[in-house]
């Protein structure tokens, strides 16, 4: 297997010629302006660099409805979540098809120009149920949908510049860059791991199992918007770095950030994450227990089952499914329900709540659960957070 072909056959690049940036910025200053949310800025940049290939802009109504109804773009290509730009009814009233608008960030800086192909209303409840499987406002994806305006704008973008508010520069790699690096390393089979949490021994185990059958691992943590109670990205990045420095083969691992926002869409986000990694050139994608889940909205292995709705050929990336993993005192090693015959009393498995309680108390979880270096970073971060004035 060679580096994966981009979804739809071509890696999209929507950046304008650098020589045109000043002229188009001046042009944008005369246009009507749409201020983007942090998630929309993230989506805009991911369209521009090709992570969302074959999308060249925000979805029109045909693609949008097709994605909600059958997890495919209107042309039949697999795609599981809508990529959209909303406006209020008041904003929509001042816009029309064919118009160009400037997409700006909070400071007023124009990031891109959107040519409006379509202005269309949408049903927030239908979208929530289709994308997240629920209309319960306690689901963060549903709550976000309810904050949107009542209309979507569909059309291609021309990207002028990235937002200057960027983090983790040394670990930013666009799909064109990862593809080039994989070729330079002569990696043919590349596995990616998606994470929004610190990596404990269970995650390390499944990554190394996957690394046994591939040439290299792309550790690809999400650093866009996440829930307020998730571990902050800068803390997580420190954990990833110390782990890779001490416990992973340096010539077979790459740490690069995935600048997307979390949707918490469970199984549909597993498909979405796999397609995005395919565009980075990845050939294999780890899908663990409750991938991209939140609360009790999804079954533990719904994210495995959803892949049955697509053929391997049309997805173009090989999922690697892993069960819940843990340390077994009888086996004397990391195992899963598939490989361990022993009773749960022999297993060292801690709930997230229990781990947070231990860390807040300055207590390191047992080494069979978490590497000491990772625990130290998390204890320090929680201690700093506790000292901050409320």
What's the CATH code of the domain at 124? Answer: 3.10.400.10
In a domain? residue 165: no
226 shares its domain with 258: yes
379 shares its domain with 254: yes
In a domain? residue 247: yes
Length reported for the chain: 390
Residue with tokens 């925000």: 58
128 near 135, Cβ under 8 Å? yes
List C-alpha distances in Å: 148 to 117, 122, 133, 151, 152: 20, 10, 18, 8, 9
Cα separation, 2 vs 75, in Å, equals 25
Q: Is 316 helix (H, G, I), strand (E, B) or coil?
A: coil
**For 2-61, how does the pLDDT look when each residue is reduced to its tens digit (9 = 90+)?**
789 999 999 999 999 999 999 999 999 999 999 999 999 999 999 999 999 999 999 999
In a domain? residue 13: no
**For 106-160, how does the pLDDT look when each residue is reduced to its tens digit (9 = 90+)?**
999 999 999 999 999 999 999 999 999 999 999 999 999 999 999 999 999 999 9
Alpha helices in the chain (DSSP H): 21-29, 38-49, 61-70, 89-93, 124-132, 140-146, 175-185, 201-212, 233-247, 267-279, 302-305, 312-315, 352-360, 372-387
Domain holding 155, by residue range, is 18-159
99 shares its domain with 243: no
283 shares its domain with 353: yes
In a domain? residue 95: yes
The pTM (predicted TM-score) of the whole model is 0.96
Phi, psi angle pair for 194, to nearest 5° = -90, 135
Domain finish residue from 139, 159, 179 = 159
182 shares its domain with 248: yes
Cα separation, 219 vs 309, in Å, equals 26
Which token pair is 177? 């860059």
Largest alpha-carbon pair distance within the chain?
70
149 shares its domain with 189: no
In a domain? residue 5: no
175 near 281, Cβ under 8 Å? yes
Domain finish residue from 133, 159, 185 = 159
- CB-based contacts of 111: which residues, under 8 Å, 6+ apart? 36, 41, 44, 103, 104, 105, 159, 160, 161, 162, 163
- CB-based contacts of 159: which residues, under 8 Å, 6+ apart? 14, 15, 16, 44, 45, 47, 48, 111, 112
- CB-based contacts of 121: which residues, under 8 Å, 6+ apart? 150, 151, 152
367 shares its domain with 226: yes
233 near 197, Cβ under 8 Å? no
Q: Domain total for the chain? A: 2
321 near 304, Cβ under 8 Å? yes
178 shares its domain with 138: no
178 shares its domain with 45: no
Torsion angle of C-alpha atoms 225, 118, 103, 128, degrees rounded to 10: -20
> Which of 48-70 are b and which e, b meaning 16 or more Cβ less than 10 Å from the residue's Cβ?
bbbbbbbbbbbbbbebbbbbbee
List C-alpha distances in Å: 307 to 16, 194, 286, 314, 319: 36, 16, 12, 11, 8
In a domain? residue 11: no
Q: What is residue 23's predicted lDDT score, i.e. its pLDDT?
A: 97
Domain finish residue from 138, 159, 180 = 159
In a domain? residue 115: yes
66 shares its domain with 204: no
What would the DSSP string read from start to end of 239-283?
Answer: HHHHHHHHHS-GGGEEE--B-PPP---THHHHHHHHHHHHHTT-S
Q: What is residue 302's predicted lDDT score, i.e. its pLDDT?
A: 97
Instruction: Tell me the CATH number at 236.
Output: 3.40.50.620
Active site residues: 196-197
328 shares its domain with 241: yes
Closest residue by Cα to residue 194 from 121, 249, 264:
264
In a domain? residue 7: no
How many CA atoms are closer than 13 Å to the CA of 261, on its beta-carbon side?
19
List C-alpha distances in Å: 295 to 125, 202, 215, 348: 19, 20, 35, 22
pLDDT tens digits in sequence order for the chain, 390 residues long: 578 999 999 999 999 999 999 999 999 999 999 999 999 999 999 999 999 999 999 999 999 999 999 999 999 999 999 999 999 999 999 999 999 999 999 999 999 999 999 999 999 999 999 999 999 999 999 999 999 999 999 999 999 999 988 789 999 999 999 999 999 999 999 999 999 999 999 999 999 999 999 999 999 999 998 888 889 999 999 999 999 999 999 999 999 999 999 999 999 999 999 999 999 999 999 999 999 999 999 999 999 999 999 999 999 999 999 999 999 999 999 999 999 999 999 999 888 788 889 998 999 999 999 999 999 999 999 887 666 665
216 shares its domain with 181: yes
């Amino acid at each position: 297997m060679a580096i994966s072909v981009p979804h739809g056959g071509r890696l999209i690049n929507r950046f304008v010629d650098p020589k045109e940036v000043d002229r188009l910025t001046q042009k944008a200053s005369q246009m009507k302006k749409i201020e983007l949310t942090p998630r929309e800025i993230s989506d805009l940049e991911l369209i521009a660099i090709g992570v969302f290939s074959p999308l060249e802009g925000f979805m029109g109504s045909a693609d949008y409805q097709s994605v909600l109804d059958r997890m495919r773009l209107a042309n039949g290509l697999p795609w599981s979540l809508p990529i959209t730009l909303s406006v209020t009814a008041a904003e929509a009233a001042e816009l029309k098809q064919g118009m160009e608008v400037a997409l700006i960030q909070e400071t007023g800086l124009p990031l891109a120009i959107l040519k409006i192909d379509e202005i269309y209303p949408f049903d927030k409840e239908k979208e929530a149920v289709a994308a997240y499987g629920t209309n319960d406002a306690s689901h963060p994806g549903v709550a976000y949908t309810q904050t949107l305006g009542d209309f979507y704008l569909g059309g291609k973008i021309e990207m002028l510049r990235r937002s200057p508010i960027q983090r983790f520069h040394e670990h930013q790699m666009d799909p064109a860059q990862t593809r080039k690096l994989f070729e330079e390393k002569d990696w043919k089979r590349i596995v990616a791991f998606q994470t929004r949490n610190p990596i404990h021994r269970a995650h390390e185990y499944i990554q190394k199992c996957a690394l046994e059958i591939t040439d290299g691992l792309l550790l690809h943590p999400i650093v866009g918007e996440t829930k307020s109670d998730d571990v902050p990205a800068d803390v997580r990045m420190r954990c990833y770095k110390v782990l890779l420095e001490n416990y992973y083969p340096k010539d077979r691992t790459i740490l690069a950030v995935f600048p997307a926002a979390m949707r918490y869409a469970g199984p549909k986000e597993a498909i979405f994450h796999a397609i995005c990694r395919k565009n980075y050139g990845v050939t294999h994608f780890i899908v663990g227990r409750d991938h991209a889940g939140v609360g009790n909205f999804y079954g533990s292995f719904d994210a495995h089952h959803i892949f049955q709705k697509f053929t391997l050929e049309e997805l173009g990336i090989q999922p690697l499914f892993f069960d819940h993993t843990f340390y077994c005192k009888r086996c004397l090693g990391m195992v899963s329900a598939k490989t361990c015959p022993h009773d749960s009393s022999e297993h060292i498995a801690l709930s997230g709540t229990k781990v947070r309680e231990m860390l807040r108390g300055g207590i390191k979880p047992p080494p069979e659960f978490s590497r000491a270096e990772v625990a130290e970073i998390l204890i320090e971060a929680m201690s700093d957070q506790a000292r901050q004035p409320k």
